[in-house]
Amino acid sequence: MTKCLILSMEEWAKKKNKKKIVIEKINLKIGEFTCVEPISLINTFNAAVLGSWLDSSQITIETIPFEGKCSKCNRLYFPKKENGYKSPCCNFNLEEIISGRELKIASIDFQEK
Amino acid sequence: MHLPISDKIELNILHQNSHQAEKNKIKFNNYNLLCLNIMSSPGAGKTRLLEITLEDLSKKFYSAVLEGDMTTNLDAARLEKLNIPVVPITTGRACHLDANMVSGGLKLLEKKINPDSLDILLVENVGNLVCPAEFEIGEHFKVALLSITEGEDKPLKYPIMFREADLILITKVDLLPHLNFDINELKSNIASTNPKADVIEISSITKSGFDLWQDWISKKILKFKNI
Protein backbone atom coordinates (compact mmCIF):
# COMPACT_ATOMS: atom_id res chain seq x y z
CA MET A 1 0.00 0.00 0.00
CA THR A 2 2.89 2.33 0.83
CA LYS A 3 4.43 1.58 -2.56
CA CYS A 4 1.11 2.38 -4.26
CA LEU A 5 0.94 5.67 -2.38
CA ILE A 6 4.47 6.63 -3.42
CA LEU A 7 3.78 5.66 -7.04
CA SER A 8 0.63 7.77 -7.00
CA MET A 9 2.63 10.72 -5.65
CA GLU A 10 5.29 10.22 -8.34
CA GLU A 11 2.61 10.22 -11.00
CA TRP A 12 1.01 13.37 -9.59
CA ALA A 13 4.37 15.13 -9.28
CA LYS A 14 5.32 14.31 -12.85
CA LYS A 15 2.32 16.30 -14.01
CA LYS A 16 3.31 19.22 -11.74
CA ASN A 17 7.05 19.26 -12.55
CA LYS A 18 8.56 17.72 -9.43
CA LYS A 19 11.67 19.93 -9.40
CA LYS A 20 9.61 23.02 -8.69
CA ILE A 21 7.55 21.83 -5.74
CA VAL A 22 7.96 20.91 -2.08
CA ILE A 23 5.32 18.63 -0.60
CA GLU A 24 4.13 19.65 2.84
CA LYS A 25 1.20 17.37 3.51
CA ILE A 26 -0.42 14.39 1.87
CA ASN A 27 -3.96 14.22 3.18
CA LEU A 28 -5.47 10.76 3.02
CA LYS A 29 -8.96 9.43 3.59
CA ILE A 30 -8.81 5.85 4.82
CA GLY A 31 -11.95 3.84 5.47
CA GLU A 32 -12.29 1.74 8.60
CA PHE A 33 -13.31 -1.24 6.48
CA THR A 34 -10.02 -1.60 4.59
CA CYS A 35 -6.85 -3.58 5.12
CA VAL A 36 -4.92 -0.45 6.08
CA GLU A 37 -3.82 0.36 9.61
CA PRO A 38 -3.28 4.15 9.53
CA ILE A 39 -0.33 4.31 11.93
CA SER A 40 1.45 1.52 10.03
CA LEU A 41 0.94 3.34 6.74
CA ILE A 42 2.43 6.52 8.23
CA ASN A 43 5.42 4.66 9.71
CA THR A 44 6.20 2.68 6.56
CA PHE A 45 5.77 5.78 4.40
CA ASN A 46 8.14 7.80 6.59
CA ALA A 47 10.73 5.02 6.43
CA ALA A 48 10.33 4.48 2.70
CA VAL A 49 10.73 8.15 1.68
CA LEU A 50 13.78 8.95 3.83
CA GLY A 51 16.24 10.90 1.70
CA SER A 52 13.84 11.12 -1.24
CA TRP A 53 11.97 14.11 -2.67
CA LEU A 54 9.04 13.17 -0.36
CA ASP A 55 11.19 13.25 2.78
CA SER A 56 9.77 16.56 3.98
CA SER A 57 6.16 15.54 3.51
CA GLN A 58 3.81 14.68 6.31
CA ILE A 59 0.90 12.28 6.08
CA THR A 60 -2.44 13.15 7.63
CA ILE A 61 -5.20 10.61 7.76
CA GLU A 62 -8.91 11.24 8.05
CA THR A 63 -10.58 8.01 9.09
CA ILE A 64 -13.85 7.38 7.29
CA PRO A 65 -16.29 5.43 9.44
CA PHE A 66 -17.54 2.03 8.41
CA GLU A 67 -21.24 2.50 7.78
CA GLY A 68 -23.81 0.06 6.48
CA LYS A 69 -27.45 0.23 5.56
CA CYS A 70 -30.00 -2.18 6.97
CA SER A 71 -31.67 -3.81 4.00
CA LYS A 72 -34.88 -4.33 5.95
CA CYS A 73 -35.59 -0.85 7.37
CA ASN A 74 -33.03 1.25 5.38
CA ARG A 75 -31.53 2.68 8.58
CA LEU A 76 -27.84 3.52 8.53
CA TYR A 77 -25.70 1.85 11.18
CA PHE A 78 -22.09 1.27 12.19
CA PRO A 79 -21.39 -2.46 11.76
CA LYS A 80 -19.45 -4.05 14.61
CA LYS A 81 -17.40 -7.23 14.51
CA GLU A 82 -18.81 -8.23 17.92
CA ASN A 83 -22.28 -8.24 16.41
CA GLY A 84 -21.23 -10.07 13.23
CA TYR A 85 -21.65 -6.77 11.30
CA LYS A 86 -25.43 -7.22 11.56
CA SER A 87 -27.81 -4.28 11.80
CA PRO A 88 -28.72 -3.56 15.44
CA CYS A 89 -32.22 -2.49 14.39
CA CYS A 90 -33.37 -5.67 12.57
CA ASN A 91 -30.43 -8.05 13.12
CA PHE A 92 -29.96 -8.28 9.33
CA ASN A 93 -26.74 -9.35 7.61
CA LEU A 94 -24.50 -6.67 6.16
CA GLU A 95 -25.67 -6.20 2.60
CA GLU A 96 -24.95 -2.61 1.64
CA ILE A 97 -21.81 -0.74 2.63
CA ILE A 98 -22.28 3.03 2.56
CA SER A 99 -18.76 4.05 3.55
CA GLY A 100 -15.55 2.67 4.99
CA ARG A 101 -13.91 1.24 1.85
CA GLU A 102 -12.09 4.50 0.96
CA LEU A 103 -8.37 4.43 0.19
CA LYS A 104 -7.86 7.92 -1.16
CA ILE A 105 -5.40 10.75 -1.49
CA ALA A 106 -7.88 13.53 -0.74
CA SER A 107 -5.51 16.44 -1.30
CA ILE A 108 -1.86 17.42 -1.44
CA ASP A 109 -0.52 20.60 0.17
CA PHE A 110 2.62 21.88 -1.51
CA GLN A 111 4.81 24.93 -2.02
CA GLU A 112 6.19 26.08 -5.31
CA LYS A 113 9.93 26.82 -5.26
CA MET B 1 7.17 30.77 3.07
CA HIS B 2 3.79 31.26 1.45
CA LEU B 3 0.65 29.43 2.40
CA PRO B 4 0.73 26.03 0.76
CA ILE B 5 -1.29 25.35 -2.35
CA SER B 6 -3.83 22.60 -1.79
CA ASP B 7 -4.56 20.32 -4.72
CA LYS B 8 -7.78 18.41 -4.03
CA ILE B 9 -7.32 15.30 -6.13
CA GLU B 10 -9.53 12.64 -4.46
CA LEU B 11 -7.43 9.93 -6.07
CA ASN B 12 -7.67 6.24 -5.15
CA ILE B 13 -4.30 5.11 -3.78
CA LEU B 14 -4.72 1.86 -5.68
CA HIS B 15 -5.72 3.50 -8.97
CA GLN B 16 -2.59 2.37 -10.83
CA ASN B 17 -3.24 -1.22 -9.80
CA SER B 18 -6.93 -0.88 -10.68
CA HIS B 19 -6.00 0.55 -14.09
CA GLN B 20 -3.67 -2.39 -14.81
CA ALA B 21 -6.29 -4.84 -13.52
CA GLU B 22 -8.78 -3.36 -15.97
CA LYS B 23 -6.26 -3.83 -18.79
CA ASN B 24 -5.74 -7.46 -17.71
CA LYS B 25 -9.48 -8.03 -17.71
CA ILE B 26 -9.83 -6.61 -21.22
CA LYS B 27 -7.10 -9.03 -22.33
CA PHE B 28 -8.86 -11.97 -20.65
CA ASN B 29 -12.12 -10.95 -22.31
CA ASN B 30 -10.44 -10.65 -25.72
CA TYR B 31 -9.08 -14.16 -25.24
CA ASN B 32 -12.56 -15.30 -24.12
CA LEU B 33 -10.80 -16.58 -21.02
CA LEU B 34 -12.44 -16.75 -17.60
CA CYS B 35 -10.08 -15.80 -14.77
CA LEU B 36 -10.50 -16.89 -11.14
CA ASN B 37 -8.44 -15.43 -8.30
CA ILE B 38 -7.94 -18.17 -5.69
CA MET B 39 -7.10 -16.80 -2.24
CA SER B 40 -6.69 -18.09 1.31
CA SER B 41 -4.33 -18.17 4.25
CA PRO B 42 -1.22 -20.36 3.86
CA GLY B 43 -2.05 -24.04 4.19
CA ALA B 44 -5.80 -23.83 3.59
CA GLY B 45 -5.38 -26.16 0.63
CA LYS B 46 -5.26 -24.00 -2.50
CA THR B 47 -2.68 -26.04 -4.39
CA ARG B 48 -4.23 -29.40 -3.46
CA LEU B 49 -7.61 -28.02 -4.50
CA LEU B 50 -6.18 -27.07 -7.89
CA GLU B 51 -4.47 -30.45 -8.33
CA ILE B 52 -7.71 -32.34 -7.82
CA THR B 53 -9.85 -29.82 -9.69
CA LEU B 54 -7.63 -29.74 -12.75
CA GLU B 55 -7.48 -33.53 -13.07
CA ASP B 56 -11.13 -33.41 -14.14
CA LEU B 57 -11.55 -29.84 -15.31
CA SER B 58 -8.71 -30.03 -17.83
CA LYS B 59 -10.51 -32.90 -19.58
CA LYS B 60 -13.49 -30.63 -20.27
CA PHE B 61 -11.91 -27.18 -20.51
CA TYR B 62 -8.53 -25.92 -21.64
CA SER B 63 -7.00 -24.65 -18.42
CA ALA B 64 -3.88 -22.82 -17.27
CA VAL B 65 -2.53 -21.62 -13.95
CA LEU B 66 -0.61 -18.58 -12.77
CA GLU B 67 0.99 -19.72 -9.54
CA GLY B 68 1.86 -17.00 -7.04
CA ASP B 69 4.40 -17.80 -4.35
CA MET B 70 6.73 -15.69 -2.25
CA THR B 71 9.95 -17.64 -2.53
CA THR B 72 9.72 -20.97 -4.30
CA ASN B 73 8.33 -22.74 -7.37
CA LEU B 74 7.25 -25.77 -5.31
CA ASP B 75 3.52 -25.33 -5.95
CA ALA B 76 4.06 -24.63 -9.64
CA ALA B 77 6.12 -27.82 -9.92
CA ARG B 78 3.24 -29.83 -8.41
CA LEU B 79 0.76 -28.44 -10.93
CA GLU B 80 3.08 -28.86 -13.92
CA LYS B 81 2.78 -32.63 -13.37
CA LEU B 82 -0.81 -32.32 -14.64
CA ASN B 83 0.52 -31.36 -18.09
CA ILE B 84 -1.21 -28.03 -18.19
CA PRO B 85 0.47 -24.67 -18.79
CA VAL B 86 1.69 -23.25 -15.47
CA VAL B 87 3.53 -19.97 -14.99
CA PRO B 88 5.14 -19.40 -11.59
CA ILE B 89 5.13 -15.85 -10.28
CA THR B 90 7.60 -15.41 -7.43
CA THR B 91 6.68 -12.27 -5.54
CA GLY B 92 9.84 -11.97 -3.42
CA ARG B 93 8.92 -10.11 -0.27
CA ALA B 94 5.49 -9.06 -1.50
CA CYS B 95 2.64 -10.78 0.33
CA HIS B 96 0.16 -10.69 -2.55
CA LEU B 97 -0.11 -10.71 -6.32
CA ASP B 98 -0.86 -7.37 -7.92
CA ALA B 99 -2.16 -6.57 -11.38
CA ASN B 100 1.32 -5.86 -12.78
CA MET B 101 2.62 -9.25 -11.65
CA VAL B 102 -0.35 -10.97 -13.26
CA SER B 103 0.20 -8.98 -16.44
CA GLY B 104 3.81 -10.23 -16.45
CA GLY B 105 2.61 -13.78 -15.83
CA LEU B 106 0.17 -13.51 -18.71
CA LYS B 107 2.96 -12.38 -21.03
CA LEU B 108 4.99 -15.46 -20.08
CA LEU B 109 1.92 -17.62 -20.63
CA GLU B 110 1.51 -16.07 -24.10
CA LYS B 111 5.04 -17.26 -24.93
CA LYS B 112 4.07 -20.84 -23.96
CA ILE B 113 0.69 -21.06 -25.65
CA ASN B 114 -1.91 -19.04 -27.48
CA PRO B 115 -4.36 -18.03 -24.72
CA ASP B 116 -7.10 -17.98 -27.38
CA SER B 117 -7.11 -21.76 -26.96
CA LEU B 118 -7.84 -21.53 -23.21
CA ASP B 119 -11.17 -21.55 -21.40
CA ILE B 120 -10.07 -20.81 -17.85
CA LEU B 121 -7.11 -19.26 -16.06
CA LEU B 122 -6.77 -20.09 -12.38
CA VAL B 123 -4.58 -17.66 -10.46
CA GLU B 124 -3.35 -19.01 -7.15
CA ASN B 125 -2.59 -16.00 -4.99
CA VAL B 126 0.00 -15.86 -2.20
CA GLY B 127 -1.27 -17.35 1.06
CA ASN B 128 -2.57 -14.35 3.02
CA LEU B 129 -6.01 -13.25 4.19
CA VAL B 130 -5.25 -9.53 4.22
CA CYS B 131 -3.58 -7.83 1.23
CA PRO B 132 -4.82 -10.04 -1.65
CA ALA B 133 -8.34 -8.86 -0.80
CA GLU B 134 -7.50 -5.24 -1.71
CA PHE B 135 -5.52 -5.85 -4.90
CA GLU B 136 -7.59 -6.57 -8.00
CA ILE B 137 -5.77 -8.52 -10.69
CA GLY B 138 -8.40 -8.38 -13.43
CA GLU B 139 -10.20 -11.51 -12.32
CA HIS B 140 -13.83 -12.23 -13.13
CA PHE B 141 -14.47 -13.97 -9.81
CA LYS B 142 -12.76 -14.23 -6.44
CA VAL B 143 -12.70 -17.55 -4.65
CA ALA B 144 -11.67 -17.64 -0.99
CA LEU B 145 -10.79 -20.85 0.84
CA LEU B 146 -11.17 -21.22 4.57
CA SER B 147 -10.12 -24.46 6.25
CA ILE B 148 -11.99 -25.53 9.34
CA THR B 149 -8.76 -25.74 11.33
CA GLU B 150 -8.53 -21.94 11.11
CA GLY B 151 -11.56 -21.38 13.33
CA GLU B 152 -15.15 -20.20 12.97
CA ASP B 153 -14.30 -16.55 13.61
CA LYS B 154 -12.09 -15.88 10.59
CA PRO B 155 -14.78 -14.21 8.42
CA LEU B 156 -15.24 -11.68 11.23
CA LYS B 157 -11.51 -11.23 11.79
CA TYR B 158 -10.62 -10.89 8.09
CA PRO B 159 -13.88 -9.42 6.78
CA ILE B 160 -12.52 -7.76 3.63
CA MET B 161 -11.35 -11.07 2.18
CA PHE B 162 -14.66 -12.80 2.82
CA ARG B 163 -16.71 -9.76 1.84
CA GLU B 164 -14.96 -9.55 -1.54
CA ALA B 165 -15.25 -13.25 -2.38
CA ASP B 166 -17.85 -14.49 -4.86
CA LEU B 167 -17.42 -18.06 -3.63
CA ILE B 168 -16.16 -19.33 -0.30
CA LEU B 169 -14.90 -22.91 -0.14
CA ILE B 170 -14.87 -24.37 3.36
CA THR B 171 -12.01 -26.86 3.11
CA LYS B 172 -10.82 -29.90 5.10
CA VAL B 173 -14.37 -30.78 6.17
CA ASP B 174 -13.28 -34.43 6.52
CA LEU B 175 -11.73 -33.28 9.82
CA LEU B 176 -15.08 -32.23 11.27
CA PRO B 177 -15.59 -35.39 13.36
CA HIS B 178 -12.19 -34.87 14.99
CA LEU B 179 -12.48 -31.20 15.90
CA ASN B 180 -14.52 -29.11 18.25
CA PHE B 181 -15.73 -26.98 15.39
CA ASP B 182 -19.18 -25.49 14.77
CA ILE B 183 -19.66 -25.30 11.00
CA ASN B 184 -23.03 -23.58 11.40
CA GLU B 185 -21.37 -20.79 13.35
CA LEU B 186 -18.82 -20.43 10.55
CA LYS B 187 -21.58 -20.29 7.94
CA SER B 188 -23.45 -17.71 10.01
CA ASN B 189 -20.28 -15.59 10.24
CA ILE B 190 -19.81 -15.88 6.47
CA ALA B 191 -23.43 -14.90 5.85
CA SER B 192 -23.28 -11.90 8.12
CA THR B 193 -20.07 -10.66 6.46
CA ASN B 194 -21.09 -11.48 2.91
CA PRO B 195 -24.68 -12.65 2.42
CA LYS B 196 -24.25 -12.79 -1.36
CA ALA B 197 -21.36 -15.28 -1.48
CA ASP B 198 -21.87 -18.86 -2.60
CA VAL B 199 -20.56 -21.36 -0.05
CA ILE B 200 -19.40 -24.94 -0.69
CA GLU B 201 -18.03 -27.42 1.82
CA ILE B 202 -15.20 -29.45 0.37
CA SER B 203 -12.64 -32.11 1.26
CA SER B 204 -9.54 -32.95 -0.73
CA ILE B 205 -9.32 -36.27 1.13
CA THR B 206 -12.83 -37.66 0.62
CA LYS B 207 -13.45 -35.47 -2.48
CA SER B 208 -16.83 -34.46 -1.05
CA GLY B 209 -18.06 -31.18 -2.47
CA PHE B 210 -15.87 -31.37 -5.55
CA ASP B 211 -18.88 -32.10 -7.74
CA LEU B 212 -20.49 -28.83 -6.57
CA TRP B 213 -17.26 -26.87 -7.04
CA GLN B 214 -16.67 -28.31 -10.52
CA ASP B 215 -20.28 -27.55 -11.38
CA TRP B 216 -19.84 -23.96 -10.13
CA ILE B 217 -16.77 -23.48 -12.35
CA SER B 218 -18.38 -25.15 -15.38
CA LYS B 219 -21.44 -22.92 -15.14
CA LYS B 220 -19.29 -19.80 -14.85
CA ILE B 221 -17.21 -20.79 -17.90
CA LEU B 222 -20.26 -21.63 -20.02
CA LYS B 223 -22.03 -18.44 -19.02
CA PHE B 224 -18.91 -16.38 -19.66
CA LYS B 225 -18.46 -17.92 -23.08
CA ASN B 226 -22.18 -17.51 -23.73
CA ILE B 227 -22.57 -21.20 -24.54
Model pLDDT for residues A4-45, shown as the tens digit of each residue = 999 999 999 998 877 788 999 999 999 999 999 999 999 999
Exposure of B163 in the CB half-sphere (CA atoms within 13 A): 24
Task: Indicate the angle between helix axes B15-30 and A2-16, nearest 10 degrees.
Answer: 100
Give dist(CA B69, CA A7) in Å, integer: 24
Asked if the model's pLDDT at residue B227 lies above 80, the reply is: no
CA distance linking residue B31 with residue B117, whole number of Å: 8
The answer to whether residue A84 neighbours chain B at the CB level (below 8 Å) is: yes
Rounded to whole angstroms, the Cα distance separating A28 from A15 reads: 20
Number of A to B CB contacts under 8 A, please give it. Answer: 92
Query: Tell me, what's the pLDDT at B3?
Result: 83
Q: Identify which of A33, A105, A110 has the shortest CB distance to residue B4.
A: A110
User: Which of A86, A104, A112 shows the shortest C-beta gap to B13?
Assistant: A104
Distance CA B217, CA B215 (A): 5
Among B139, B193, B195, B148, smallest CA distance to B169 is for B148
pLDDT at B92 over 90: no
What pLDDT does A65 receive?
97
This model of the complex carries an ipTM of: 0.89
Within a 10 A sphere around the Cβ of B99, how many other Cβ atoms?
Answer: 23
Chain A residue with minimum CA distance to B185: A84
**Residue at B183: amino acid letter:** I
C-alpha to C-alpha distance for B190 and B158, rounded to whole angstroms: 11
Mean pLDDT of B156-169: 96
Is B133's CB within 8 Å of A35's CB? Answer: yes
Across the interface, whether the CB atoms of B11 and A105 are under 8 A apart is answered: yes
Per residue in B112-157, pLDDT (tens digit) is 999 999 999 999 999 999 999 999 999 999 999 999 999 999 999 9
Q: Under DSSP, is residue A25 helix (H, G, I), strand (E, B) or coil?
A: strand
CA B151/CA B81 separation, integer angstroms: 32
Chain A contact present for B195, CB below 8 A = yes
Contact B16 A4 (CB under 8 A): yes
- In the predicted structure, residue B1 carries a pLDDT above the cut 70: no
pLDDT at B102: 97
For residue B188, what is the nearest residue in chain A, using CA coordinates? A84
Rounded Cα distance between A113 and A19, Å, is: 8
Q: Which of B84, B87, B36, B38 is nearest to B60 (CA)?
A: B84
Find which of B13, B96, B153 to mutate to test the A interface (most A CBs within 10 Å of its CB).
B13
